[in-house]
Amino acid sequence: VSGGARRLVVDLASTSRNWSLPAWGAERIRAAAPPGWEVHVATSSTSSDGDGSGGTAPEVLEAAGDAEVYFGFGLSEALFAAAPRLRWVHSASAGVGSLLFPAMRASDVLLTNSAGVMADPIAEHILGGVIFLLRAMDVAVEQQRRREWNKAPFVAEGATVREVGECRILVVGAGGIGTAVARRFSAMGARCTGVRRRPELGAPDGFERVVAPDGLEEALREADVLVLCAPLTEGTRGLLDGRRLDCLPTGAIVVNVARGSLLDEEALVERVRSGRLRGAVLDVFRQEPLPAESPLWGLPQVLLTPHVAAVSPRRFWERELELFLGNWSRYQSGAPLANLVDKDAGY
Ligand SMILES: NC(=O)c1ccc[n+]([C@@H]2O[C@H](COP(=O)([O-])OP(=O)(O)OC[C@H]3O[C@@H](n4cnc5c(N)ncnc54)[C@H](OP(=O)(O)O)[C@@H]3O)[C@@H](O)[C@H]2O)c1
């Protein structure tokens, strides 16, 4: 770094255009640099999939040598090892599971994430998927393909058409996404219960009540729609296994936009196939890309998307830069950072 300047490395040239920092964004970061700071905006491409940090380009490893702040998708162990002067990492992803490797956890390097930044598009995605199933549009799509005019699945005894307003919604993870979902569903008349790790912090807007993780099974018994939007941590891995899915009422809908490993996919498939569950809306999978042989592909009652629920090309970078630039200025003044990750809690 020239003349002992402090360095920010920006590693956001995602291979996906939607997630790649636009030129105006790089300009905004440069323009916000306080005196004495140098900004290195990497041009080598990087991966924004999942928690990010599939690997780190040589250009970035070199620039990281005297970086004080790193702004990327996740953080690789190689980069962490190559950046001895690092003090603060900000990830443009919300999930941080893959960033909490032992050296990072043991260090006092600050870590902030983008929790909440993707909440609005994800909430709309969830609403769309749930209404798709409540209105039996999966049945309509199948019939349309066959050019079949048939009211029976919608009007016969045992038909599953329902309104949002008559549903009880259970949202596991009452954070950024969970609150955005609960606000929307409650505005449509549904009753929302949240599960959060720290229920003592209260029920956010949109929730009638929140319960602790140990109240999950009881809450499942009253959930017409279950939405999983909690981080993947040791407390949530494998959370929705077959036994817990069996706590849900017959005909319930399951949504997962969190991480695939929260949910037992085989157990879900069995219960959707048998009609025990109405269907599912899935954006995340235990293995991504979802293998071609997964039975999930073949179930019309499962609406699946390739981890794109958060996509919002017009608004993501506005929100993300507001968060990062606000934090950069707090970092300068020594004020507490927003979205600081609790490395022990894992989110
Ligand atoms: N599909 C996608 O593209 C996509 C995009 C963004 C995020 N995500 C996933 O969604 C997750 C949540 O995102 P967010 O922005 O809503 O994060 P957030 O604002 O940090 O919210 C996380 C919520 O989960 C709760 N929680 C933590 N541990 C729990 C447990 N053991 N049981 C129940 N609830 C628990 C937290 O409780 P407290 O509030 O009480 O601490 C908090 O309410 C991310 O970690 C990420 O994995 C997916």
Q: What is the pLDDT of residues 66-94, one digit of tens each?
A: 999 999 999 999 999 999 999 999 999 99
Query: Taking 60 as the threshold, does the pLDDT of residue 1 lie above it?
Result: no
Best residue among 47, 96, 120, 177 to mutate for probing ligand 1's pocket (most ligand atoms within 8 Å of CB) is 177
Average pLDDT of every residue of the chain: 97
Query: In percent, how much of the chain has pLDDT > 90?
Result: 96
Give the side-chain half-sphere CA count within 13 A for 38: 13
Alpha carbons 77 and 17: distance in angstroms, whole number: 25
- Return d(Cα 254, Cα 32) in angstroms, integer: 43
Q: By the 8 A CB rule, do 211 and 171 touch?
A: no
In contact, 9 and 43? CB cutoff 8 Å: no
DSSP letter (8 states) at residue 253: E
Q: What does the pLDDT average to over 46-74? A: 92
pLDDT band at 50 (very low <50, low <70, confident <90, very high): confident
Read off the tokens for 219: 């809450």
Closest-lying ligand 1 atom to the alpha carbon of residue 118: 6
Separation of alpha carbons 171 and 183, rounded Å: 11
Q: Whose CA is nearest to atom 9 of ligand 1?
A: 258
Please give the distance, rounded to the nearest whole angstrom, from the Cα atom of residue 153 to the centre of ligand 1.
36
Residue 340 is given by DSSP the state: B
**Of 12-21, 49-58, 200-209, 239-248, minimum mean pLDDT range:** 49-58
Residue-level pLDDT at 95:
96
Q: What is the pTM for the complete model shown? A: 0.97
Structure-token pair, residue 71: 């702004």
Of ligand 1's listed atoms, the one at least distance from the Cα of 347 is: 20
Q: What is the pLDDT of residues 99-116, one digit of tens each?
A: 999 999 999 999 999 999
- Ligand 1 neighbours by CB, cut-off 6 Å: 94-95, 115-116, 118-119, 122, 172-178, 195-198, 201, 213, 229-233, 235-236, 257-259, 283-284, 307, 309-310, 347
Kindly give the distance from the C-alpha atom of residue 272 to the centroid of ligand 1, in angstroms, as a whole number. Answer: 25
Q: Confirm if 51 and 96 have CB atoms less than 8 A apart.
A: yes
Two structure tokens written together for 37 = 């700071």
Q: Which of 62, 217, 288, 322 is catalytic?
A: 288
Q: Report the sign of the C-alpha dihedral through residues 284, 181, 131, 48, in that order.
A: negative
Q: Say which of 40, 191, 307, 320 is annotated catalytic.
A: 307
Spatial contact of 81 and 141, defined as CB atoms under 8 Å apart: no
- For residues 347 and 339, give the distance between their C-alpha atoms in angstroms, rounded to a whole number: 9
Q: Poorest-confidence range of 17-26, 51-60, 85-94, 248-257?
A: 51-60
Residue 54: predicted pLDDT: 73
| 231 alpha carbon – ligand 1 mean position (Å) | 4
90 given a catalytic annotation: no
Which atom, in ligand 1's list, is nearest to the CA of 93?
Answer: 6
Tokens 């993947």, residue located? 232
The residue whose CA is least distant from atom 6 of ligand 1 is 94
* Active-site annotation holder among 168, 184, 191, 259: 259
Measure 96 CA to ligand 1 centroid, in angstroms.
10
Alpha carbon nearest to ligand 1 atom 28, residue: 197
Q: List the one residue out of 104, 58, 55 whose CA is nearest residue 81.
A: 104
Contacts of 124 (CB under 8 A, 6+ apart): 184
* 40 part of the active site: no
- CA dist 63 → 11, 54, 71, 82, 335 (Å): 10, 18, 12, 9, 27
Cα–Cα distance measured from residue 64 to residue 9, given in angstroms and rounded to the nearest whole number: 7
Strand-pair partners of 255: 227, 281
Q: Residue whose CA is closest, atom 3 of ligand 1?
A: 310
As given in the structure block, the two tokens for residue 252 are: 């319930």
- Residues 248 and 138: their CA atoms lie apart, in Å, by 21
For the stretch 207-212, contacts whose Cβ atoms lie closer than 8 Å and that sit 24 or more positions apart, written own/partner, are 207/171, 207/174, 207/179, 207/182, 210/174
Atom of ligand 1 nearest to the CA of 198: 40
- Known catalytic residue: 259? yes
Two tokens, residue 187: 């505005």
Q: Which residue has the tokens 């020594």?
A: 334
